[in-house]
Amino acid sequence: METALLEVKNLAVHFQTAGEPGGAGIAGGVSAGVIKAVDGVSFQLLPGETFGLVGESGCGKSVTALSLLKLLPTPPAILAGGEVIYRPEKKRPGKDLWQLPHGDLLKLRGKEISLIFQEPMTSLNPVMKIGRQIGEALRIHSAEKTPAAKEIRREVLAMLTRVGIHHPERAYDAYPHELSGGMRQRAMIAMALICRPKLVIADEPTTALDVTIQAQILELLKELQASYHLSLLLITHNLGIIAETAHRVAVMYMGRIVELASVKELFHNPLHPYTLGLFSSIPRLDKEEALAAIPGMVPDPLRLPAGCYFAPRCPKAMEVCHREYPMSREVAPGHTVACWLQEK
């Protein structure tokens, strides 16, 4: 198998909650305790691959993304365990990003590993012009002396053109609020790619956009990935986006990966009951039947059920499911599932 560019091993990120007087969970306030937002997540990302991380809101996708580069404030976040091994060169030993000195990690952020955030309006500086924000990465990560202002401007305008902004000079001198949502997202992509990184983490890059602009942004990401040979970690709750863009995909539920496979394998042979529930809730144009909903509610993260976290909502749950959490096992080459049904 090809050497992974990024290898995540048993990642665990917790949050300590202080609670409120009289708190009793979701119904009566916030109780004190530890929330295991990410609980033993492991996966690999290959060079040039798009790896999808999918699941409903609150399953731990964004926390996983932010924790890779230690972007979560600590406290309240607790980096409870795991390794994030980054291998920029095939023949060199990998670096555990969590063990790097802060200065070395700063050199990687934005240069070799960059992020496209979920909502550009809240991620871009509202009082700084777009061109200056994008050019800041070039000024910080220049290999030698700080490049001249004219050179930075030329590079930024070229990247704005590359991401499909038709009037780059106008966008360069604009503030974020003067651009449309799609233009802001393109500017965010330009910022992420200006230093030609090896890995881009895209956290719900199209959630705030309408369907037409979503399609354009996804097509743009595919084109840029092919042009720059990027590895892309794509985080989304939309299985349609995964089908169009990803090579492999991991399905998360309550901070854990419950199923991992190639996109083709997962869409043709989903095995975990949660994955099956997600697929059954997708609208189909060729069927007029009512959508199936996953029964029950997501459990309180401070009061997780014994055994499999999905067991209280699972129509196929057995006695063992309520007693013990299943280990992830490979049921086919590259296809792993954490479900007691696969042990039978």
Domain positions in the chain: 6-112+197-343
Q: What is the pTM of this model?
A: 0.89
pLDDT at 121: 82
**pLDDT level of residue 148 (50, 70, 90 thresholds):** confident
pLDDT at 171: 95
Q: Mean pLDDT throughout 298-308?
A: 91
- For residue 29, pLDDT beyond 70: no
- For residue 19, pLDDT beyond 70: no
The residue ranking higher by pLDDT, 273 or 122, is 273
**pLDDT level of residue 26 (50, 70, 90 thresholds):** very low
Dihedral sign for Cα 293, 242, 250, 187, please. negative
Please provide residue 315's backbone torsions phi and psi, each rounded to the nearest 5 degrees: -75, -15
In tens, the pLDDT along 249-274 reads 999 999 999 999 999 999 999 999 99
CATH code linked to domain 6-112+197-343: 3.40.50.300
Q: Mean pLDDT throughout 307-311?
A: 95
Distance CA 41, CA 81 (A): 10
| Helix (H), strand (E) at residue 39 | strand 33-45
The residue ranking higher by pLDDT, 190 or 288, is 190
Q: Mean pLDDT throughout 1-24?
A: 80
Phi-psi region of 193 (alpha: psi -120 to 50; beta: other; left: phi over 0): alpha
Distance CA 237, CA 91 (A): 35
Distance CA 116, CA 223 (A): 16
